Amino acid sequence: MPELTAKQSNSVLSYRDQQAYRLIEQVALWEGRITTNTLQDAFGCSRTTASPIIQSYLDACPENLMYCTKSRGYLPTEQFVPRYSTGTLEEYTQLKSPSVSEIPAYPMQMLQRRPDPAIVRAILKAIDQKQRLDISYASFTSPEDGDRIISPHKLVNDGARWHVRAWCEKNQDFRDFVLSRIQAVYGTEGKATADASDDEGWNHKLTVTIEPDMRLTEAQQKLVALDYGMEQTSTGGYQRSYEVRRALLIYTLQNLRLDRPRERGEAQQIMLTPECQRALMPFLP
């Protein structure tokens, strides 16, 4: 990786500065201490380069870090809020840095379908240029004869597969197309006939509210509440709400394992609140 240079002004951050700020936040948050050595090891830069980078981060986020003379490094404050990273453990474990290369974590290999890069490039270009695409798409209803003309506007990962959200001229509505099922892109067909602003399912937000399965004991419900970051309600129960796009509701329910009922409370663990179930009913398949 090329040597980093310190940010000289308040202009838009360079890609390298963004990566440095991301590293600073993740290491400080999950390891509890960030030093110039961290940047030196990660980016192969000198101390005279690393120190101004940390200082520029402090100028941008003065409330996030404080220097500790005892530990000879910067520690996260109680007011720490990530601004250049997600702040998630998943992102921290994916960092390509010597300081986290030996992290005692084992990410399970999920069965991700790998889309064809050539097809993804064509889709991204069509999205950027607002173009229609002529594609060959294999589905269960049309496994062989699946020629479609679509106007794509977003790529979506549902946790297991990549989709492209697009207007489908054959079905005259917005649909999700699994990228691994797009067998060919024949070319563009002129200006897109619809975009994200026309996609009601994409723009309409829904609230998903979950609670522990009522079949669980009080102690078990408390454990589930801790697992899912639920807060206690005024009635003594536990709940958490998620805001999701209507078009992505089914994927959210699948990821939460709420797409079908389980026979035992221990297997179900969480459920939609009755009020949420009624509110979402018109949008469920």
Which amino acid belongs to residue 131?
A: Q
**Beta carbons within 8 Å of 276's beta carbon, 6+ residues apart:** 207, 208, 209, 210
CATH number of 15-100: 1.10.10
Domains 15-100 and 204-283 share a fold: no
- The pTM of this model reads 0.68
- Please report, as a single letter, which amino acid is at residue 122: A
What pLDDT, on a 0 to 100 scale, did the predictor assign at position 160? 79
Residue 106 confidence (pLDDT): 52
- Cβ-proximal residues to 51 (8 Å cutoff; 6+ apart), any chain: 36
CB 77 within 8 A of CB 62: no
Residue 275's pLDDT is what? 94
- Pick from 33, 134, 111: nearest CA to 77: 33
- Enter the tokens of residue 229: 């970051």
Please report the pLDDT score of residue 133 as a whole number. Answer: 95
Please state which architecture CATH assigns to domain 117-196: Roll (2.30)
- Quote the pLDDT of residue 186: 93
Provide the pLDDT for residue 110.
60
Question: Please, what are the averages of pLDDT over each run of 10 residues along the chain (285 residues)?
Answer: 40 72 88 86 81 89 90 89 85 62 55 77 90 90 79 88 92 92 91 93 95 93 93 92 94 89 86 93 86
pLDDT score of 112: 62
Q: What is the dihedral of CA 122, 127, 129, 132, to 10 degrees?
A: 80
Residue 155's DSSP bridge partners are: 164
Q: In whole angstroms, give the CA distance from residue 100 to residue 215.
A: 41
Domain locations in the chain? Answer: 15-100, 117-196, 204-283
| Cα 271 to chain centroid, rounded | 23
Q: Tell me the CATH number of domain 204-283, given options 3.30.70, 3.30.43, 1.10.10, 2.60.40.
A: 3.30.70
Amino acid 267: pLDDT? 85
| pLDDT value, residue 109 | 59
